[in-house]
Structure 1
């Protein structure tokens, strides 16, 4: 069987698709929507800090959890979604063998770096910085300017070494 030739355009679009799958769009939207409310636009009281911290933690967990979800299409053409386990997908259809969907080291690597990238997104948010670190000096602002490209470069290399093979909830299987 001949191996298909992929053009630069195909590889670029595939890489862009993998980047989009890195952070669940719904999770980032919820964070961007609720964060100004919970941080009181950066003018936080102690309750705002707790609520914003809970939001960041829940969204980070959602990003990490999404790395362990997958989908498959059964013999009848129905798409099923599940959570990857040591034995395969759960829940699973009795008519389909899902043992090839077992958790791998790459899933944990993806989850870790997805959470790190979400952390960078939160640090780039002005309301979050003003809420948790109101006295940021110019030297610390340099960290915020340097951190995203560094994390992006490291994450890109790691995701090339551990390509994402999962089609999580909301992403169709090929």
Structure 2
């Protein structure tokens, strides 16, 4: 019983430490990870096949975190929200869209996009690799021997990432996030 209560307290503290930082990750990606991870890890009781599928899940979710940092949206002349990939020349829309009066070249790729992508992947990696099911699946002895690391790494990464995200605020409204125009119009109507 001590082991299971110890496991839950470590994971509770890990998730509490990431409470605000998760807001910086794509919500759908975090949801997909938390939904699929217990299934793919067999609640931490992994076979080699479970390890392969869990590794693929973590890699795909990490890619999603990075990719979302290079997407943005705009409101077209028809009033619809359009999404695209940020490039060095500006925003490249996913579909033929009516950009109308929107200057898509103003959505150029910036150094901050790479910094956000890097730290989003780091935050997701710590979140996913210190998840209790992942720990039990990939490195079960680590949980009992390295509790100090499990307890200290999330807050340290949180402080570093939080500082970076405050210094370089994210102005992108990528896939799954409301566009600035739709957010402002919704808040004006309230």
Task: Give the TM-score taking structure 1 as reference length.
Answer: 0.84
CA distance in 1, matches of 2:68, 2:83: 11
Query: Which of 121, 124, 127 matches 1:121?
Result: 127
Query: Which of 157, 166, 170 matches 2:163?
Result: 157
TM alignment of 1:1-174, pairs within 5 A? 19=21, 21-91=23-93, 93=98, 95=100, 96-136=102-142, 138-174=144-180
Q: Return the offset for 1:137.
A: 5.6
Any runs of at least 4 consecutive aligned residues in structure 1 with deviations exceeding 6 A, and if so which? none
CA distance in 2, matches of 1:113, 1:168: 16
Q: Return the offset for 1:113.
A: 0.3
Tell me if the contact between 1:123 and 1:144 (Cα under 8 Å) persists in the aligned partners: no
Which position in structure 2 is the counterpart of 1:6? Answer: none
CA distance in 2, matches of 1:50, 1:79: 37
- 1:11-32 per-position Cα deviation (integer Å, ceiling 9, x unaligned): xxxxxxx956511111111111
Tell me if the contact between 2:26 and 2:68 (Cα under 8 Å) persists in the aligned partners: yes
Q: 5+ residue gaps in structure 2?
A: 1-19, 181-190
Q: Return the offset for 1:81.
A: 0.9
Tell me if the contact between 2:45 and 2:137 (Cα under 8 Å) persists in the aligned partners: yes
CA-based RMSD: 1.7
Tell me if the contact between 2:143 and 2:150 (Cα under 8 Å) persists in the aligned partners: no
Q: 5+ residue gaps in structure 1?
A: 1-17
Which position in structure 2 is the counterpart of 1:9? Answer: none
Question: What's the secondary structure of 2:43's corresponding residue?
Answer: helix
Provide closer, same or farther for how the CA distance between residues 100 and 19 of structure 1 changes in structure 2, counting only shifts above 3 A: farther
Which position in structure 1 is the counterpart of 2:11? Answer: none
Aligned positions, number: 157
